[in-house]
């Protein structure tokens, strides 16, 4: 590998590590798509198989042979991403060939073996193959768009800025006390008891869509302000110090307008970073309300509040499930806790845009980090124009 090729590869890796894959050319993003998408396919397969395993294990009459088959394919698919990463790190011709072969085998295992494990050698298994194939093609397309690098960068940033989440949670204590009062409302428990899991997910999806639209609208304005106003006084050479683009940035590169794909990419990394914190906040509240319901609400009160018709009077409430896995928690407690947590998450999403302390601890570092990425993008375009 020549010095020029090695430098170009480091520049490409830098953009991928910062969650800006759409800055790169289509030729770069289409390289080794099957091998690059294989970890996502393997992860989805392992998660699906593990969920099916737990659902069968916690059922009334578990099939030991079926559990063994699911455990085997879960172990193989869970180990595949580590093998692919080890081959990628070696960066030799043989390792790249092995990576391509392993990626193809993982994809074939997900498309052909998973349906057979799930439904046995039957017509039903063959009927499920197109669905698994569609998921694999979707994973390859998302890999081409660089969704993996966007999510990984956003998760790393959200994890580093986790302290900002704790700060806002402490400032959200009045909201928490209000939701605790709402939580102990009989009408809410009756609604949760009569709401099917499908309708509950539809409601959660609607509230999530509202939160997503709000985040996109807010962050799009931030990106426009960053590009049009704040970048005028930005020293690109200083921002790119210590990066692979430092050597090619002899002077401040011209600031070209962002393309449509690049605008979507920049907004996406910021939206995903904030969405991860919203999900962490909502998950924490869900766990809190779940524990509160188990500790504070006796079974007979659960039946009284929810007025369950499916369970006999005097008997304990109906047991809950989570993605088919039986859990020792009443179903109404699960529904109520999830519903209240998601409503609180929507409030959290709106409040983050106006809370000055959260903006100082999370939003400002996020904007500063994106400014470095945009300066690198301008330098990269200048480098490509020269070559």
Sequence-separated (6 or more) residues with CB below 8 Å from residue 303 = 311, 313, 315, 316, 317
DSSP notation for 166-208 = HHHHHHTHHHHHHHHHHHT-HHHHHHHHHS-HHHHHHHHHHHH
Neighbours of 32 (CB within 10 A): 14
Sequence-separated (6 or more) residues with CB below 8 Å from residue 260 = none
**Which helix (DSSP H) or strand (DSSP E) does residue 329 occupy?**
strand 325-330
d(CA 154, CA 274): 8
d(CA 148, CA 20): 10
What letter does residue 257 receive in the DSSP assignment?
P
d(CA 166, CA 27): 42
Q: At 254, phi and psi to the nearest 5?
A: -65, 145
d(CA 380, CA 387): 11
DSSP H helical ranges for 18-63: 26-29, 33-57
> Which stretches of the chain score pLDDT less than 70?
1-4, 119-120, 122, 124, 161-176, 226-236, 247-254, 307-317, 355, 357-359, 387
- Do residues 38 and 31 touch, judged by C-beta distance below 8 A? no
Q: Tell me the CA distances in angstroms from 283 to 203, 276, 338, one per residue in order.
A: 17, 10, 9
3-class secondary structure, 18? coil
- Do residues 23 and 263 touch, judged by C-beta distance below 8 A? no
State CA 185 to chain mean position distance: 32
Which tokens hold the place of 201? 């997910």
DSSP notation for 89-103 = HH--HHHHHHHHHHH
Predicted local confidence at residue 2, as pLDDT: 60
d(CA 175, CA 138): 39
Closest of 336, 343, 347 to residue 183, by C-alpha: 336
Sequence-separated (6 or more) residues with CB below 8 Å from residue 344 = 175, 176, 179, 281, 282, 285
DSSP notation for 151-169 = HHHHHHHHHHTHHHHHHHH
The model's pLDDT over 224-235, given as tens digits with 9 standing for 90+, comes to 776 665 445 556
d(CA 134, CA 113): 15
Half-sphere exposure at residue 34, Cβ-oriented, CA atoms within 13 angstroms: 15
Predicted local confidence at residue 309, as pLDDT: 45
Predicted local confidence at residue 203, as pLDDT: 93
pTM of the shown model: 0.77
Which tokens hold the place of 118? 């799930």
């Amino acid at each position: 590998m020549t010095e020029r090729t090695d430098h170009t590869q480091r520049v490409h890796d830098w953009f991928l590590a910062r969650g800006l894959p759409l800055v790169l050319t289509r030729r770069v993003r289409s390289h080794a798509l099957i091998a690059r998408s294989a970890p996502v396919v393997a992860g989805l397969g392992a998660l699906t198989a593990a969920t099916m395993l737990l659902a069968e294990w916690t059922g009334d009459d578990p099939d030991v042979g079926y559990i063994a088959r699911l455990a085997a394919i879960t172990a193989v698919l869970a180990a595949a991403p580590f093998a692919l990463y080890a081959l990628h790190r070696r960066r030799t011709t043989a390792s790249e060939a092995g990576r391509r072969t392993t990626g193809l085998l993982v994809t074939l295992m997900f498309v052909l073996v998973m349906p057979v494990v799930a439904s046995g050698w039957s017509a039903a298994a063959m009927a499920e193959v197109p669905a698994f194939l569609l998921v694999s093609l979707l994973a390859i397309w998302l890999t081409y768009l660089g969704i993996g690098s966007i999510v990984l960068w956003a998760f790393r940033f959200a994890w580093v800025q986790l302290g900002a989440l704790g700060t806002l949670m402490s400032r959200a204590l009045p909201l928490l006390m209000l939701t605790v009062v709402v939580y102990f409302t009989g009408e809410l428990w009756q609604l949760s008891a009569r709401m099917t899991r499908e309708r509950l997910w539809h409601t959660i999806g609607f509230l999530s869509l509202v939160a997503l639209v709000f985040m996109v609208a807010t962050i799009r304005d931030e990106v426009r302000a960053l590009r049009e106003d704040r970048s005028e006084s930005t020293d690109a050479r200083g921002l790119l110090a210590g990066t692979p683009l430092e050597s090619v940035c002899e002077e401040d590169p011209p600031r070209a307008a962002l393309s449509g794909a690049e605008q979507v990419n920049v907004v996406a990394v910021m939206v995903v970073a904030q969405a991860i914190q919203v999900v962490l906040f909502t998950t924490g509240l869900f766990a809190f309300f779940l524990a509160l319901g188990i500790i504070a609400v006796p079974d007979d009160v659960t039946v009284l509040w929810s007025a369950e018709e499916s369970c006999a009077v005097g008997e304990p409430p109906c047991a809950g499930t989570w993605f088919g896995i039986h859990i020792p928690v009443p179903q109404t407690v699960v529904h109520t806790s999830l519903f209240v947590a998601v409503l609180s998450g929507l409030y959290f999403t709106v409040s983050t845009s106006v809370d000055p302390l959260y903006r100082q601890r999370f939003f400002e570092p996020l904007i500063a980090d994106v400014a470095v990425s945009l300066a690198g993008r301008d330098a990269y375009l200048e480098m490509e124009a020269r070559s």
